[in-house]
Amino acid sequence: MVLTYNGLDKQGQPTYGGYSSHIVVNEQYVLKVPPALPLTGVAPLLCAGITTYSPLRKWGVGKGHTLGVIGLGGLGHMAVKFGKAFGAKVTVFSRSDRKQKEAERLGATDFATISQPEIFTRLGRKFDYLIDTISGAHDYNGYLDLLKTDGTYILVGAPAEPISIKAFSLILRRRRLVGSLIGGIRETQEMLDFCGEHGITSDVEVIPIQHINDAYERALLGDVRFRFVIDLKSMAENTP
């Protein structure tokens, strides 16, 4: 298999992952994309999509549940779409009200700007589930206290440094803090099929390879709705 980027193949040559013109794949690792879905919006489903689909399914998010999505980026916007499709009432937590309209468009029924601390009182013990998509350092305990008894706090993003958790917030209300990384091939196919049935894709900005440096700078600033997808046809074109 020559799937990873910058590995070495059997001849000792570097591999190009998704930038390859041809790849050889074991058939057990090939996925079937529902034909009705546009490929550009499907590409991020294989990362942001399955990363959020898998834990929401595993922990049983469904009809009538309350789900809080912390952070509205590539992962967060998929968590909103899946949460809504599974029947949950979704609240988005974001740093400012800049993304409120986007959140509503994606299917959220409530929006909370965490720069206003009163939301932690207003929403206290209201949630069955939280999914935290933020990879930077931030406070976890304010969110933990938003969970009902037996509530589940799902981590799919996290900083490399240890995080600080009030154990008694877990103990007193029998809450749980759980991690999830990605999903297996079988579950990824299930997710793609679900997306086909419900018309779900990632919201993307398609760019030619020549714009990669701009896109990189914008991604660092969080200025992307919600994933960049490179059109590899542009590889054949001259650089501008």
Q: Name the phi and psi angles at 137, rounded to 5.
A: -65, 135
Name the segment binding a copy of itself (CB under 8 A); options: 27-35, 42-50, 172-180, 201-209: 172-180
Of 44-73, binders to a copy of itself (CB under 8 A) are 58
- Rounded to a whole number of angstroms, the minimum distance from the CB of residue 159 to a copy of itself is 7
When asked if residue 191 is in the footprint of a copy of itself (CB under 8 A), the reply is: no
| Of residues 36 and 181, the one with the C-beta less far from a copy of itself | 181
Peptide bond connecting 86 to the previous residue in cis, omega within 30 degrees of 0? no
What is the crossing angle of helices 48-58 and 185-198, to 10°? 100
Rounded CA-CA distance 175/179 in Å is 14
**Of residues 158, 203, 202, the one with CA closest to residue 178:** 158
Name the segment binding a copy of itself (CB under 8 A); options: 101-109, 164-172, 187-195, 207-215: 164-172
| Of residues 122 and 176, the one with the C-beta less far from a copy of itself | 176
Looking at 126, 173, 211, 218, which residue binds a copy of itself (CB under 8 A)?
Answer: 173
When asked if residue 159 is in the footprint of a copy of itself (CB under 8 A), the reply is: yes
When asked if residue 125 is in the footprint of a copy of itself (CB under 8 A), the reply is: no
Rounded CA-CA distance 31/11 in Å is 27
- Rounded to a whole number of angstroms, the minimum distance from the CB of residue 76 to a copy of itself is 16
Binding site for a copy of itself (CB under 8 A): 58, 141, 155-156, 158-160, 162-181
